[in-house]
Structure 1
Amino acid sequence: MTQRIDMATAAPDGYRAVYAVEQYVQANVDHQLLELVKLRASMINECSFCVDMHSQDALKAGEDSRRLFAVAAWQEAPFFSEEERAALALTDAITRLGNDGVPDDVWDRAAAVWSEQQLAALVIAIGTINLWNRIAIPTRKALPE
């Protein structure tokens, strides 16, 4: 596939605005958890560019490859903490947002392990990766060779 448009060039102010939110997320969400969330949302959205980028970023940061592979089936995998499971469940619910929104049990699980400020940053992080996916997929963001 050929990349359709370079959003950073075509809409630099918009791209910088999204990147500013990304910088907030990076400063307020644990890096290891953030990469798991980004990877999971990107898998659900089938964004190959983001799956590649976030798996590579996580590996470079020292994440275990087994855990990265297991993100696809995190519910059955024994490798994740309760906090990570709550974040991954919230990622699934927000990324697959349906008519009923995020189920109470998913929200309550996350609220039980994260402070209000942490939960707010996590929601912004999940929203941001979904926005990045929705930029990369329609523009056919090119994978590095």
Structure 2
Amino acid sequence: MQQRMNMFEVAPEGYKAVLGLEQYVRANVDHTLLELVKLRASMLNNCAFCVDMHSTDALKAGEDVRRLFAVSAWRESPFFSAEEQAALALTDEVTELGEHGVTDEVWAAAQDAFSDRELADLILAISTINVWNRIGVSTHLQPPAL
């Protein structure tokens, strides 16, 4: 599969705007939690570039490889804290809004795990990775060769 376009070259102002949001969430969301959220959304969106990047980044930051593999089956895994589970559930529902949106159950669990500000920043983080995934998938952005 060949990359269709380089968004930074074609629409640099738009790309920089998304990058600004990325910089905000990096500064305001716990790094470990952010990488789990990015990896989960990227898996749901089938973004090979982002799955590669965020799993690699998480490993470099010291994340356990078993936890990274378990992100794909997080509901059945014992490796995630209640806070991480709430964030992953929210990631699933924000990423796949479908007909139900974010359920009251998932919202309540997220509210129990995070302050209002943390929850707002988490929603911004989930939304941002979804923008990156949509850019990557639509333009056929590819991870570096092995």
When the two structures are superposed, what TM-score results if normalisation uses the length of structure 2? Answer: 0.98
Secondary structure of the 2:98 match is coil
Q: Which amino acid aligns with 1:29?
A: V
For residues 29-60 of structure 1, give each alpha carbon's deviation from its aligned partner in whole angstroms, at most 9, with x where no partner exists: 00000000000000001100000000000000
Structure 2 residue 16 is the aligned partner of structure 1 residue 6 = no
Which residue is 1:127 aligned to? Answer: 127
Structure 1 stretches of 4+ moved >6 Å:
none
Structure 1, unmatched stretches of 5+, are: none
In the alignment of these two chains, the number of paired residues is 145
Query: Counterpart of 1:103?
Result: 103
Which residue of structure 1 aligns with residue 84 of structure 2? Answer: 84
**Partner AA of 1:83 in structure 2:** E
Deviation at 1:142, TM superposition (A): 2.1
State the AA in 1 paired with 2:5. Answer: I
2:56 maps to a residue whose letter is Q
Indicate whether 1:52 and 2:52 are aligned: yes
CA distance in 2, matches of 1:33, 1:103: 21
Q: Secondary structure at the match of 1:74?
A: helix
Q: What secondary structure is seen at the aligned counterpart in 2 of 1:15?
A: helix
- Which letter maps to 2:23? Q
Q: Give me the whole-angstrom Cα distance separating, in 1, the residues matched to 2:99 and 2:70.
A: 28
Amino acid at match of 1:59: L
C-alpha separation in 2, matches of 1:135 and 1:48: 12
TM superposition shift of 1:63: 0.2
User: Residue deviations 1:72-98, cap 9 Å, x none?
Assistant: 000010000000000000000000102
Q: TM-score, normalised by structure 1?
A: 0.99
- Aligned mates of 2:96, 2:28 — CA distance in 1: 23
Instruction: Tell me, in whole angstroms, the C-alpha distance in 1 between the residues paired with 2:143 and 2:58.
Output: 17
Identity of aligned residues (%): 64
